[in-house]
A = this chain, B = another copy of it.
Amino acid sequence: MPSVKVTSQDVARLAGVSQPTVSRVFTPGVKVSKAMEDKVRRAADELGYRPNTLARSLITGQSMTIGLIVAYFDNPFYVEALEKMSRALKDKGYNIMIFMAANHAGDVDQVVHDLLDHQVDGIILASVSTSSALTERLHEEGVPLILFNRGHEDKSLSAVTSANTAGGRKVAEFLLAGGHKRIAHISGWQGASTGRDRCAGFAKALKEKGAEPHAIVDGLFSREAAAAATRSFFATGESPDAIFVGNDHMAFAVIEVLKGELGLAIGQEVSVVGYDDVAMSAWPSFDLTTVRQPANRMVDAIVSQLVAQIEGRATEPRQIEIDGPLIVRGSARKPEGWVA
C-alpha cells in the first residue's frame, strides 16, 4: 500500500510558490496571474495532484453532496428518477449519497441524521415521508429537504409531485366517456399523499358526473395486494368493467390476473388504466393506458428548487405540481370517436 498522498503543500514546494497560491489555482473564480497558474499546473500534473474534497468541504461548509433517501425500487419509476437525478445533479456539480430506508418515520429519521453527519448540502426524500420533529431540526441546521413524489400537510416543506388529483380526474373522465358503468379502483397506499390524491381526484370526478365507484381497495403499492384485490372483484357479485390502478407497477399484476387467471380480454371485456407511464407500460405485453408522470420535468423541478434553496436564492418552500397527459394505449376501451 504505497499510499502516495499528494497535497497542495507538495505542489507548492515543487512549483516554488506558497500553498495558498496552489489553492487559488484550483478554486474557480479566483484571480491568479498566468505565470503562476502555469507553474502550478505543471507541478500539479507532474505529481498527479488533485484537491482533497473532504478538506475543502470542511472549510467551505459545502460538501457538494446531496442525500437521497428512497424506500424501494420495486417501482421502476423511482429507478428512472434516480438515474435522471444523478445526471442532473452532477451537471450542477453535486454528487449523490444514497440510502435505503424502510418506510416508517423512525428509520427515515435515523437515516437523515446519518446524512447530516456527512454534512450533505440538501436532502431528497423519494417515496418516503418524515416526522415534523426532524424537519424542524433540518430547518435549524439550514439544510433543505424536498419530497419527491410525496406531498405533506406541513406546507413549510417543499415537494415535487405530479398533479395527482387532476390525474385521477382525467382517468375517471376517460373511463366514463368510454361508456364504462362499473369502475373499480385499486388505489395507491392511502398512507401516502400520492395514493390519496389520485384516489380523491378520481372519486370526485365520478361523483360530479353522477357516478360512483364500483369498489375501492387499497393496493398498498404492492403487486401482491393488487392481484388479491383483482381476484376479490371477480369472486362474488357483479364484476367491474374497468379498473383504475394506482400505479403502473400494480397495474401489471392486475393485467396478469385478468388475462392469465380469469381469461379476460384486456381493453375489450375489461379496461385497465395505470399511473406513471414507466417504460414497461409501452411494452406490447402490457400496452397500458396510463397517466404520464413526466420524470424529466419532475427531476428538473426538484433539482433546480433544491439548488436554489441551497444557494439561498429560494428561501420560501414551494409545492410544485407537474401536470402530465393521459397516454392512451390499448388496455382500456376508447370513447367513441377518440382522437389521439
Question: Would B82 and A3 count as touching, CB distance under 8 A?
Answer: no
Closest to A2 in B: B140
- B58 with A55: CB separation less than 8 A: yes
Any B CB within 8 A of the CB of A228: no
Within the assembled complex, what's the spacing in Å between the Cα atoms of A289 and B2? 48
CA distance A295 to B252 in the complex (A): 24
What would 12 A/B residue contacts be, using CB atoms closer than 8 Å? A1-B312, A5-B141, A50-B116, A50-B117, A54-B58, A73-B82, A87-B100, A95-B97, A252-B283, A256-B283, A256-B285, A260-B285
What is the bound-complex CA distance between A118 and B93, given in angstroms?
13
A23 to B264 CA separation, bound complex (whole angstroms): 67
**Does A233 sit within 8 A of B, measured CB to CB?**
no
Question: Which of B57, B79, B97, B117 is in CB contact (< 8 Å) with A73?
Answer: B79
Closest chain B residue to A58, Cβ basis: B54
- Per the 8 Å Cβ criterion, residues 70-86 of A in contact with B are 72-73, 76, 79-80, 82-83, 86
- Give A65 to B137 CA distance when docked, in angstroms: 25
In Å, the complex CA distance between A118 and B56 comes to: 10
Which residues of chain B come closer than 8 Å to A95, judged between CB atoms? 97, 99, 114, 118
Do residues A54 and B100 form an inter-chain contact, with CB atoms below 8 A?
no
| Chain B residue contacts of A284, Cβ below 8 A | 256, 260
Quote the shortest CB–CB distance from A220 to chain B (angstroms).
Answer: 17
CA–CA, A285 and B83, complex, Å: 27
Bound: A65/B52 CA distance, A = 14
Q: Give the shortest distance, in Å, between A127 (CB) and chain B (any CB).
A: 13
A258 to chain B, nearest CB (A): 11
Across the interface, name the chain B residue whose C-beta is closest to A51. B117
Q: Which residues of B contact A3 (CB under 8 A)?
A: 140-142
Number of interface residues of A (CB under 8 A): 53
6 further A-B contacts with Cβ under 8 Å, apart from A2-B141, A3-B140, A73-B80, are: A3-B142, A54-B119, A58-B58, A79-B79, A86-B99, A95-B99
Confirm or deny: A48 has a beta carbon within 8 angstroms of a beta carbon on chain B. Answer: yes
Q: Does A96 contact B (CB under 8 A)?
A: yes
A53 within 8 A of B: yes
Q: Are A97 and B100 in contact (CB under 8 A)?
A: no
**A119 contacts B53, C-beta separation under 8 Å:** yes
Q: Is the CB of B141 within 8 A of A97?
A: no
The digit string for A1-17, where 1 denotes a CB below 8 A from any CB of B, is 11111000000000000
Q: Specify which chain B residues have a CB less than 8 angstroms from the CB of A51 in the assembled complex.
A: 117
Complex Cα gap A99–B114 (Å): 20
The docked-state distance in angstroms from the alpha carbon of A339 to that of B97 is 46
**A113 proximal to B (CB < 8 A):** yes
Bound Cα distance from A73 to B295, whole angstroms: 15
How near does chain B come to A280, taking the closest CB pair, in angstroms?
9
On chain B, the residues within 8 Å of A83 by CB distance are 72-73, 100
Q: Does A98 make an interface contact (CB < 8 A)?
A: yes
Specify the chain B residue showing the minimal Cβ separation from A315: B1
- Encode contact with B along A34-64: 1 for CB under 8 Å, 0 otherwise: 0000000000000010111111011000010
- Kindly state whether residue A90 has any CB partner on chain B within 8 Å: yes
Are A118 and B48 interface neighbours, CB within 8 A?
A: no
**Could you say which of B113, B252, B283 contacts A50, with CB atoms under 8 Å apart?**
B113
